[in-house]
Amino acid sequence: MLPKIGVFAPLLAAIAFANPFGHSQVYVAPRQVWNNATKYEVKTPPLTTNWTYTIGTDPWQEYPRPQLERSQWKSLNGIWKYENASSPDAVNSPPTDLDNGSEVMIPSCLESGLSGIQSNTSFASWFLTNFDVPSDWSGEKVLLNFGAVDYEATVFIDGKQAGFHRGGYFAFTIDITPYLSNNGSFATRQNGAHELLVFVHDPTDTAIIPVGKQTTSPSHIFYTPCSGIWQQVWIESAPATWVSRFDVAAGMDGKVDVNVISIPEGSAEAVEVEVKDKGSGKVVGTGSGTSNTPFSFTVSSPNLWSPSTPTLYDITLKMGNDEISSYTGFRTIEKGEVNGVQRPLLNGKFEFLFATLDQGYWPDGIYTPPNREAMIFDLQTLKDLGFNAVRKHIKIETALFYQACDALGLMVIQDMPSLPPKGDSFLPNPDQQSEWERQLVLMINQQKSFPSIVTWVIYNEGWGQLYATTNPEFNLTSVIRTLDPTRLIDSTSGWRDHGAGDFHDNHHYAAPQCGTPFYSILSTPFDPSRIGFQGEFGGLGHNVSADHLWLVPQAVNSINQTYEISADLKTYNYRAHRLLDELREQTELFACSGAVYTQTTDVEGEVNGLLTYDRRVLRPDVEMWKKDIGALYDAAAGRA
């Protein structure tokens, strides 16, 4: 359902007027100010975290886009109004008030306790807030930014449709300047001069769209869905010609490749880029060129980025009056032969990748971590145990997640969010396939400037993969290679492998089969022309006490589907020691170059996390795991 500008009729409150931009448009009168909408309150989720009742109503106040940061900005996060809509067609008849609605916290998933709603049937929803544009903003444009809205957003400013976006994992920006009304009826509102109304349509389970693990009937390895405005919302001020995207990639040789995309589209503005030492602020390199034309320059002898030395450099970008702060890290990731074996090379050396499967789910926030501190707690836990990587599993996080990985030194293996894994009867038709491919391109372009990301994963375990008729992963691998020649590509993680990409990636539970000459059902014999990798293993379970469980019947009833359950933590750690030791042996004897342990935390009915779902119990014997993980890196060094 893609509404066109101006078709809100039939609508009693709509008054047609001639707008100053040439086309006639329906004018929707401002909604009433509701004092009787249900007040915001955290809804008690089936399980809490330490953060559930402490974050208040304005979490996520950090600048949301650290690689393209402007100084004049204002967060629109906080308490908005929400009302359920009857159907996707409701977009054509915006409500005249939201009196019967509820307050909602933004950003959040409507299904989460933190939203204040905790719904489970949110297919169509209205969201409303008011805002002022600060009077001292010097720019000529006001840009409205969303970090992510799941799944489709239709945005109205002061009663006029200002934009539409499809795709639940992507940031988008709307130049709302032409829609900001000076009309008195909006300007005299009690909560702010302007009105932002968002219609969200989320057809999870009724359409074949990228959803990752979301389902409306969660059980076992599939979880509660997320609908709504689940990442940050903010406005900022920009000049008439502005930077809409800044691509930066810096290699171990000091070469910095940049591409500044500017609006108006195709404009060619002079651009200057300065790279600065983070501590001293000293300029170590400058480059200049023109927007919308890639250019490069060199910084001599930069300190390189790696998990053990996550050095970052600040960047200042100037294009006319648009001044942007950003950052980068200098590193090169490639595939290369070391003693006859194909390896992932970081800055020219074999780097063993040891990651967790990181799903990014929270009992109180579902897809949205309660706050930045909670999000970083997970990453710091991994770092402290000795992991040097995370596999971000069929989800894309806020930019602040990747910034934290850049700063902490955690390499990211980034999965494309998969289509629903419901077997051959639910494979995409050509339109659904091309929409999924469009969103794959969005992911690469949105994420490709984070130095911590080292690998893209296209397909997970054949989910949504047209493996019977065509092998789309070959074409998609070359599409990604063109968009981003600086990273490795794991075309098929798990199975349905036909030889595409840089990795031969096996999934096997609980024991690894990493670059080994033996393999199991659905896998294929190790292919020595590619990197031997264990995309998933482990999954050791431990049915912790009820007070750390997601006490929803469908979840608790699926705990018995866990691959392996240990009766106590002593046994759990004994089993983990055996598996980590097998992985070490496979690294010494065969062609194993890295692995992904399942998983960072428990999720709903899955009880196999290093941390429980509430993050209150850490299962690993920390000293033992640190020693065993250290032995993996030593084994890899012994093969280099």
The residue ranges of DSSP E strands in 539-586, in sequence order, are: 540-542, 564-566
Write the CB contacts of 507 (distance below 8 Å, at least 6 apart in sequence).
Answer: 461, 493, 494, 495, 523, 534, 535, 536, 537
3-state secondary structure 412-467: EEEECCCCCCCCHHHCCCHHHHHHHHHHHHHHHHHHCCCCCEEEEEEEECCCCCCC
Confirm or reject binding of residue 191 to ligand NAG (CB under 6 A). no
Confirm or reject binding of residue 557 to ligand NAG (CB under 6 A). yes
Confirm or reject binding of residue 181 to ligand NAG (CB under 6 A). yes
Q: Which amino acid is at 21?
A: F
- Asked if 130 and 192 count as a contact pair (C-beta separation under 8 A), the reply is yes
Member of 380, 543, 577, 617 binding ligand NAG (CB under 6 A): 543
Confirm or reject binding of residue 311 to ligand NAG (CB under 6 A). no
Sole window of 73-81, 115-123, 333-341, 409-417 interacting with ligand NAG (rule: CB under 6 A): 115-123
Sole window of 245-253, 502-510, 555-563, 630-638 interacting with ligand NAG (rule: CB under 6 A): 555-563
DSSP letters along 194-251, please?
A: EEEEEEEE--BTTB----TTB-SS-BTTBB----EE-S-EEEEEE-SSEEEEEEEEE-
If phi > 0 it is left, if psi is from -120 to 50 it is alpha, else beta; for residue 423 that is: left
Confirm or reject binding of residue 120 to ligand NAG (CB under 6 A). yes
Confirm or reject binding of residue 1 to ligand NAG (CB under 6 A). no
Confirm or reject binding of residue 86 to ligand NAG (CB under 6 A). yes
Write the CB contacts of 33 (distance below 8 Å, at least 6 apart in sequence).
Answer: 189, 190, 191
Confirm or reject binding of residue 615 to ligand NAG (CB under 6 A). yes
Per-residue mark of binding to ligand NAG, 219-258 (x: CB under 6 A): -----x----------------------------------
Q: In the range 339-368, which residues lie near ligand NAG by CB under 6 A?
A: none
| CA 488 remoteness from chain centre | 19
Query: Nearest approach, Cβ of 604 to ligand NAG (angstroms)?
Result: 10
Query: Nearest approach, Cβ of 483 to ligand NAG (angstroms)?
Result: 10
- Total residues contacting ligand NAG (rule CB under 6 A)? 34
Confirm or reject binding of residue 9 to ligand NAG (CB under 6 A). no
Confirm or reject binding of residue 432 to ligand NAG (CB under 6 A). no
Other CB atoms within a 10 A radius of the CB of residue 388 amount to 22
Residues forming a β-bridge with 273 = 287, 317
Member of 556, 569, 617, 624 binding ligand NAG (CB under 6 A): 556
**What's the token pair of residue 598?**
């399942």
Sole window of 27-35, 290-298, 394-402, 595-603 interacting with ligand NAG (rule: CB under 6 A): 27-35
Per-residue mark of binding to ligand NAG, 464-493 (x: CB under 6 A): -----------x---x--------------
Confirm or reject binding of residue 24 to ligand NAG (CB under 6 A). no
Sole window of 324-332, 500-508, 556-564, 630-638 interacting with ligand NAG (rule: CB under 6 A): 556-564
**Beta strand 242-250 pairing with 270-277:** unpaired
Member of 72, 93, 183, 290 binding ligand NAG (CB under 6 A): 183
- Asked if 576 and 564 count as a contact pair (C-beta separation under 8 A), the reply is no
Residue found by looking up tokens 């359902």 in the block: 1
Confirm or reject binding of residue 53 to ligand NAG (CB under 6 A). no
- Of 167 and 310, the one with the shorter C-beta distance to ligand NAG is 167
Query: Nearest approach, Cβ of 476 to ligand NAG (angstroms)?
Result: 7
**What's the token pair of residue 237?**
């001020």
- Of 108 and 181, the one with the shorter C-beta distance to ligand NAG is 181
Member of 67, 77, 118, 119 binding ligand NAG (CB under 6 A): 119
On the 0-12 / 13-18 / 19+ scale of CB atoms within 10 A, 616 is: middle
